[in-house]
Amino acid sequence: MNRQFKITGGRNLRCKGWRQEGLLRLLENVLAVGEDPEHLVVYAALGRAARDWPSHDKIVETLMTMSEEDTLVVQSGKPIGLIRTHVDAPIVIMANCNMIGHWATAENFYDWEKKNLICWGGLTAGDWQYIGSQGVIQGTYEIFMRIAERHFGGNLRGRFILTSGLGGMGGAQPLAGRMAEAAILCIEVDEAHIERRMEIGYLERRAASLDEALAMIADARKDKRGLSIGLCANAATIYPQMLERGIIPDIVTDQTSAHDLVYGYVPDTVTLAQARALRESDPKRLMAESTKSIVRHVTAMLGFQKAGAVVFDNGNMIRSQAKDGGVADAFSIPIFAEAFLRPLFARAIGPFRWIALSGEECDIAKIDDYALERFAENKILSNWISLARKHVPFEGYPARIAWLGYGDRSDLALAVNTMVRESKLDGPVAFTRDHLDAGAMSNPYIMTQNMKDGSDAICDWPLLDAMANCSSKADLVAIHSGGGGYSGYMTSAGVTVIADGTTEAAGRLKLALDNDTSLGIMRYADAGYDDALDEAAKKNVRYFRLGDN
Ligand code: NAD
């Protein structure tokens, strides 16, 4: 079948209500903005929107025909059936890629994936919350700005960032770097991905060689001008080359799909085409080659660190892959969440997002105007929205990401729901967030590394979060665990609520968004973070402080 991957927009309902229609539009959206929609792959190498095409088509048919009194049950991207619930229950509940502890290995994942028993939902692919590269852009920008404050006197003008990977999420890096006014060089092995980031306006220039790229960087630094450059090459070749030549950037990171040694990372000993062929013919050899290549890649990152660069892991498991390959000090590289964002997460301030289901950009502009006025005193938000409306192009359904916390999320959502009711917007708006949020994720190598109380690998929190969201009338609730190299390393929860202008939607938004974030505050308060205890006291979050924490 010749499938079209585009968004619908407009006010026409194809479902029995906006809750179902909103979720259907979000499913269409993740494919419209995804990396390889023909294979249902949205981002992060193998993060899929649905198990397979029959599953996808049944989900679509069910959303179009189901009533609000039923709930659709999805297991690893496959619709299993409808259960009779009630109008306050979620429209969709999902569990994606959750494997029992001892069995949760990459090998079992690939085996069960091939047998079509399981699929990985990424964080936001399987539960249809992905909004393209914008999804992580504010997080990336805030990391760069925290580094600027800590190491470079408050700004990155004239500074040089080296990174790699221009895929679904990594593609946000060049724009985030330029917004932070740095000169940023992105190494990407797939020419088509460089092309795509240029087409959608996330990447400015392409260099034909390392020397040309370095000359462009030098010019931009001299003029203290923000600039983003893509170079088609393998990071495991370029990083060591630069180190050997004594070219030390100010900041170094990496966002290749290093978590997946088969379908994600491309080793420097083979071409892209050879890597693709090996995925089928000899995945074991490919895994071994990827590990060796990551060893060279991370050894160079450690070299940059020793030479004075600020080096950090951008959430792709590259340190653990390198450690498995024998790099004993791989974990000397800090993880971004602990190094730069934990004070925000401790207050449950995290990557909240909203999506205009009308398809109209003016709806986002009106919400931007409202948010700038309502949160005028919130410097992070007002700086971000002002910058984003200038620099961040829309993909698929127009959307905005902005880091907000307890109370502020529901305030904004309720105001937007009223705007929908009063026809000030062209259609309903979906509210959701990244799984990388205070109460929603346990991942000891990314989100929860070095928690104050040592609770890094305890994943009760995302499970409680998902149950709380179901009890709080959210429209979609999902529990995800890791696939590929993330197998056994993470569990997270996702939530979506549709603001369709009704009183019922207002009730759902208030309960779900407040309870979701209050659990985040409780999680960090319980781990002993003063910021969380302070936030709980300020916002009347009813956390029970027992014992010494
Ligand atoms: P993706 O699979 O869409 O893109 C990865 C890109 O890396 C591809 O374009 C690929 O060609 C390129 N690549 C692979 N090996 C390379 C190499 N050796 N040299 C140069 N380029 C190479 O993945 P994505 O969605 O962009 O995510 C990237 C990684 O970041 C994943 O591991 C993902 O799980 C992680 N991630 C982190 C966060 C976060 O919060 N920090 C958020 C989302 C995703």
Cα 284 to ligand 1 centre (Å): 20
Site residues for ligand 1, CB cut-off 6 Å:
35, 43-45, 136, 139, 164-170, 187-190, 193, 234-236, 255-259, 264-266, 314-316, 436
pLDDT of residue 314: 95
pLDDT of residue 1: 74
pLDDT of residue 548: 62
C-beta separation of 364 from 356 below 8 A: yes
Q: Cα-flanking dihedrals φ and ψ of residue 376, to 5°?
A: -55, -30
Identify whether 289 is part of a domain. Answer: yes
Same domain membership, residue 361 and residue 317: no
Q: Which residue, judged by its Cα, is nearest atom 41 of ligand 1? A: 315
Same domain membership, residue 381 and residue 324: no
Instruction: Locate the ligand 1 atom nearest the alpha carbon of residue 123 and give its number.
Output: 43
Over residues 242-254, the pLDDT tens digits come to 999 999 999 999 9
Q: End of a domain among 274, 309, 334?
A: 334
Same domain membership, residue 304 and residue 446: no
How many domains does the chain contain in total? 2
Owning domain of residue 525: 349-477+488-539
Same domain membership, residue 262 and residue 165: yes
Residue type, 116: N
Separation between Cα atoms, residue 442 and residue 455, nearest integer Å: 9
Instruction: Locate the ligand 1 atom nearest the alpha carbon of residue 171 and give its number.
Output: 26
CATH number at residue 508: 3.40.1770.10
Same domain membership, residue 356 and residue 322: no
> What predicted TM-score, i.e. pTM, was given to this entire model?
0.95
Identify whether 88 is part of a domain. Answer: no
CA angle 476, 407, 518 (to 5 degrees): 65
pLDDT of residue 135: 87
Identify whether 434 is part of a domain. Answer: yes
Q: Which residue, judged by its Cα, is nearest atom 4 of ligand 1? A: 167
Identify whether 5 is part of a domain. Answer: no
Q: Which residue, judged by its Cα, is nearest atom 27 of ligand 1? A: 44
User: Which of 97, 231, 257 gets mutated to test ligand 1 (max ligand atoms within 8 A of its CB)?
Assistant: 257
Same domain membership, residue 367 and residue 256: no
CATH number at residue 268: 3.40.50.10730
* Maximum distance among all Cα pairs of the chain, rounded to whole angstroms: 66
Q: Which parts of the chain sit beneath pLDDT 70?
A: 548-549
Q: End of a domain among 277, 301, 334?
A: 334
Compute CA distances 141 → 145, 172, 174, 495, 504, whole Å.
Answer: 6, 9, 10, 24, 36
The pair of structure tokens assigned to 127 is 């539960």
Which is it for strands 491-499 and 429-433: parallel, antiparallel or unpaired? antiparallel
Identify whether 181 is part of a domain. Answer: yes
pLDDT of residue 549: 55
Same domain membership, residue 214 and residue 270: yes
Same domain membership, residue 533 and residue 401: yes
User: Which of 241, 253, 255, 492 gets mutated to test ligand 1 (max ligand atoms within 8 A of its CB)?
Assistant: 255
Identify whether 406 is part of a domain. Answer: yes
C-beta separation of 187 from 193 below 8 A: no
Q: Which one-letter DSSP state was computed for residue 330?
A: G
Place of tokens 């909240």: 352
Separation between Cα atoms, residue 500 and residue 497, nearest integer Å: 9
Same domain membership, residue 303 and residue 411: no
Q: Alpha helix (H) ranges present in 223-271?
A: 235-244
Separation between Cα atoms, residue 536 and residue 514, nearest integer Å: 12
Instruction: Locate the ligand 1 atom nearest the alpha carbon of residue 140 and give its number.
Output: 41
Separation between Cα atoms, residue 164 and residue 170, nearest integer Å: 8
Identify whether 97 is part of a domain. Answer: no
CA angle 94, 130, 132 (to 5 degrees): 165
Same domain membership, residue 417 and residue 367: yes
Q: Which residue, judged by its Cα, is nearest atom 23 of ligand 1? A: 44
Instruction: Locate the ligand 1 atom nearest the alpha carbon of residue 256 and give its number.
Output: 7
Cα 158 to ligand 1 centre (Å): 26
Angle between helices 134-151 and 379-391 (to 10 degrees): 120
Please name the residues in contact with 418: beta carbons below 8 A apart, sequence gap of 6 or more: 501, 506
Same domain membership, residue 502 and residue 406: yes
Q: End of a domain among 311, 334, 357?
A: 334
Separation between Cα atoms, residue 294 and residue 325, nearest integer Å: 8
Same domain membership, residue 227 and residue 173: yes
Over residues 362-375, the pLDDT tens digits come to 999 999 999 999 99
